[in-house]
Structure 1
Amino acid sequence: MLSGLAAGREVLFVGGKGGVGKTAVASALGLSLARAGRRVLLVSTDPAHNLGHLWDQRVGDEITELAPLLRGLEIDPARTTAQHLAAVRSTMERLMPDHLQGGVRRHLELARDAPGTHEAAVLERIAEVVEQRHPDELVVFDTAPSGHTARLVALPELMQAWTGGLMRRQERSARFGAALRGLQGQGRRDADAGDRAAADIVGSSRPVDQRGRRDAEIRQILDRRQARFTGLRSLLQDDARSSFVIVLAAERLPVLESVELHEQLTRAGMGVGALVVNKRSPADAGELLADRRAVEQRYVAQLGAALPDLPLHEVPLLPGDLVGEDALLRLASFL
């Protein structure tokens, strides 16, 4: 049962090819765990959100109660990116000299639609959600289709390395600035001696070094960012704290894409805990569906041969619309 995969863990990711039922599986798992007494936060990172439709209620970018012990959240990439850039702009405008403000604003406007900006902003939000969860709460992420998810999972390592590079450059810049100020101070030492003595007599002090204070604050910001990405990377690469569930249909392309996703996740250091083959055709509902199931069975066998060490759960094609708690609990009975 997938509920066993959640035991002791802080985070579960549910992902796979688009249209295979990731949101349904994530929701059913979350509801089942909540009914068993586990506190769960269900988070959609897919820009094409289906969480609200599945639960037949509004779910947005603010946490919403879905059921007892179960909360839901749909991360809005556009809003998250706008908030992220606004925070960066506020910080940069506070730290940068006036003559550089125009360049900062132009750079951030160009960055709004630059490749990777949305992913970086969503990654920050994911880290924030994990950090701010209840101590005993399991976060279940309903992710975007496979390619996007693989990039997102690999991003903490890239962002950690990128931030580390910024920190090294900022440190070199700070050392250079300090050395330059020391050279400038040496030339002024004799001329300033009388002024300093007079200042000491009246109890005043020299103005705080603005450049040094700015360098220190930049360093603090980079330290916090580095710690956030380091923590998220450690979480994703710790099998005892997190795991990934791949959802797929018993068809050629979803099987091939799932095997590729497994390889990408493994390269990123993240463990895959289970496979869920969703919407399996019944064998006893007429010749057409029986033939369809026989075709599916070949692909299930292909999946088992490619990933023999992973638990494989099969969910039948269920009747009716998959909307609301009753339908989700019916689905959960197969997980």
Structure 2
Amino acid sequence: MQLLNTQALIQRPLLMVGGKGGVGKTTVSAALALLAARNGRRTLLVSTDPAHNLSDIFRRPIGDRVTPLTDCLSALEVDPECELDQYLESVRQQMLSFAPLNQRPALERQLKLVRHSPGAEEAALLERITKIIVNEQAYDLVVFDTAPTGHTLRLLHLPQTMAAWSRGLLARREKGGRLRSLFAHLGKNSGSNPIKSEDPGVTTGGGSEREQQLLAPLKEREQRYRKAAELLLDKTHSGFLFVMTAESLPLLETARAVKQLQSERVPVSGLVVNRLMPPEAADITFLRGIYRQQKQCMEKIADLFSGLPQRHLPLLGEGMEGLEGLERIADRLAAAPPAAELPVGH
């Protein structure tokens, strides 16, 4: 088994930490962010999981704002509902400035329907994530404590999908503008009245200033999504780290997620197996069965993930909350494991 080099891992500008819910990925994310900050890297730790735990694990309020935690570490808990409200308000302000008075009530009704439509919060969350990925220049490293695996896979795939959708919409708008220009030219040459556009002021392929203002946010979003997708696929810029426990369900879910990410060329940097029982558990009747199950699972992990660098963390009998507890995890992630803590089954 190749040992995961966490010091090299935190040298990338972007690190995504994910896995099945309840396996300790927030603890690992926070410890890695703290390790990077300890090394002098300006680090932003971002939680996109609706069930935020950063405030709990650091024992201080964080919320939907960048909150300094140490000299080089700040944290942020992205609120999907807040993001959706802000996003819809920006759309509302933009559209109201162009919509005729008689169409504004219908626009307001439509925005209220969008507020409760499936996928609306995820789309708004994607807006914030892509802005952080592409535009955040104040930090050397951004660590995302992501939502459970299925949600994460959708977020990773959406930039490419949305970029293609935006390009298609822009192409249709431009094609429509060229056709209107052609019809207007033909009408003028034939002596008849030019065909009027349904969009007042748009008569040429380049579009009026009004149309350009309407299209500008869409073009910016398409470019940002495309850039985010490029960065997520760049192994020198980004890495995806999986956290799991030595149990059947996390094993199966992680295997599926790793396979899907690798098929989409997303760089999977490694695997952290968390909460391993110590060897002495085999001598305790109550724990013997759990230890045996973990050992069997570790043999499967060795087989399924033989090509991934790994780091194995033992189950500890003390709290991991607060800076003091996270420092202990960071120390374990940074150091080579002692012989007594080498992986079970190897």
Unmatched 5+ residue regions in structure 1? 191-208
What is the alpha-carbon distance in structure 2 between the residues aligned to residue 27 and residue 10 of structure 1?
Answer: 16
What is the aligned partner in structure 1 of residue 10 from structure 2?
A: 6
What is the alpha-carbon distance in structure 1 between the residues aligned to residue 115 and residue 181 of structure 2?
Answer: 34
| CA-CA distance at 1:334 after TM superposition | 2.3
What is the alpha-carbon distance in structure 1 between the residues aligned to residue 173 and residue 103 of structure 2?
Answer: 17
| CA-CA distance at 1:95 after TM superposition | 2.8
What is the alpha-carbon distance in structure 2 between the residues aligned to residue 289 and residue 334 of structure 1?
Answer: 24
What is the alpha-carbon distance in structure 2 between the residues aligned to residue 320 and residue 186 of structure 1?
Answer: 85
| CA-CA distance at 1:94 after TM superposition | 1.9
Match of 1:268 among 264, 273, 276: 264
Does 1:115 find its partner at 2:111? no
Partner SS, residue 146 of structure 2: strand
Match of 1:44 among 40, 44, 47: 47
Q: Does structure 2 conserve the Cα–Cα contact (< 8 Å) formed by 1:282 and 1:290?
A: no
**Gap change, CA 1:301 and 1:125, over 3 Å in 2:** same
Q: Deviations over 1:91-115 (max 9, x none)?
A: 1222333333233222222222222
Q: Deviations over 1:256-289 (max 9, x none)?
A: 0001111222233311101011111122143433
What is the aligned partner in structure 2 of residue 232 from structure 1?
A: 228
What is the aligned partner in structure 1 of residue 31 from structure 2?
A: 28
Q: Does structure 2 conserve the Cα–Cα contact (< 8 Å) formed by 1:42 and 1:139?
A: yes
What is the alpha-carbon distance in structure 2 between the residues aligned to residue 181 and residue 293 of structure 1?
Answer: 78
Q: Does structure 1 conserve the Cα–Cα contact (< 8 Å) formed by 2:10 and 2:32?
A: no
What is the aligned partner in structure 2 of residue 258 from structure 1?
A: 254
| CA-CA distance at 1:290 after TM superposition | 4.2
Tell me the C-alpha RMSD between the 2 structures. 2.1
Match of 1:316 among 306, 314, 317: 314
Partner SS, residue 42 of structure 1: strand
What is the aligned partner in structure 2 of residue 196 from structure 1?
A: none
Q: Does structure 2 conserve the Cα–Cα contact (< 8 Å) formed by 1:236 and 1:269?
A: no
Does 1:90 find its partner at 2:93? yes
**Gap change, CA 1:181 and 1:93, over 3 Å in 2:** farther
Partner SS, residue 16 of structure 2: strand
What is the alpha-carbon distance in structure 2 between the residues aligned to residue 240 and residue 120 of structure 1?
Answer: 27
Q: Does structure 1 conserve the Cα–Cα contact (< 8 Å) formed by 2:231 and 2:238?
A: yes
What is the alpha-carbon distance in structure 1 between the residues aligned to residue 156 and residue 251 of structure 2?
Answer: 20
What is the aligned partner in structure 2 of residue 198 from structure 1?
A: none
**Gap change, CA 1:183 and 1:88, over 3 Å in 2:** farther
Identity level (%): 38
What is the aligned partner in structure 2 of residue 54 from structure 1?
A: 57
Match of 1:222 among 212, 218, 222: 218
What is the alpha-carbon distance in structure 2 between the residues aligned to residue 240 and residue 217 of structure 1?
Answer: 36
| CA-CA distance at 1:180 after TM superposition | 5.0
What is the alpha-carbon distance in structure 2 between the residues aligned to residue 116 and residue 268 of structure 1?
Answer: 22
Q: Does structure 2 conserve the Cα–Cα contact (< 8 Å) formed by 1:156 and 1:230?
A: yes
Instruction: Please show how residues 116-265 of structure 1 align to structure 2 within 5 Å.
Output: 116-134=119-137, 136-179=139-182, 182=185, 210-211=201-202, 212-265=208-261
What is the aligned partner in structure 2 of residue 327 from structure 1?
A: 325
Q: Deviations over 1:128-176 (max 9, x none)?
A: 1223423552000000011111111111111111111211122123223
What is the alpha-carbon distance in structure 1 between the residues aligned to residue 162 and residue 40 of structure 2?
Answer: 36
What is the alpha-carbon distance in structure 1 between the residues aligned to residue 172 and residue 99 of structure 2?
Answer: 16
What is the alpha-carbon distance in structure 1 between the residues aligned to residue 230 and residue 250 of structure 2?
Answer: 29
What is the alpha-carbon distance in structure 1 between the residues aligned to residue 86 and residue 181 of structure 2?
Answer: 34
Give the letter aligned to residue 38 of structure 2.
Answer: R
What is the alpha-carbon distance in structure 1 between the residues aligned to residue 307 and residue 93 of structure 2?
Answer: 49
**Gap change, CA 1:105 and 1:187, over 3 Å in 2:** farther
Q: Does structure 1 conserve the Cα–Cα contact (< 8 Å) formed by 2:33 and 2:73?
A: yes
What is the aligned partner in structure 2 of residue 284 from structure 1?
A: 280
**Gap change, CA 1:305 and 1:320, over 3 Å in 2:** same
- TM-score normalized by the length of structure 2: 0.85
- TM-score normalized by the length of structure 1: 0.88
Give the letter aligned to residue 320 of structure 2.
Answer: L
Partner SS, residue 258 of structure 2: helix
Q: Does structure 2 conserve the Cα–Cα contact (< 8 Å) formed by 1:283 and 1:290?
A: no
| CA-CA distance at 1:187 after TM superposition | 8.6
Unmatched 5+ residue regions in structure 2? 194-199, 203-207, 334-346
Alignment: residue pair count: 316
Q: Does structure 1 conserve the Cα–Cα contact (< 8 Å) formed by 2:134 and 2:227?
A: no
Q: Does structure 2 conserve the Cα–Cα contact (< 8 Å) formed by 1:44 and 1:142?
A: yes
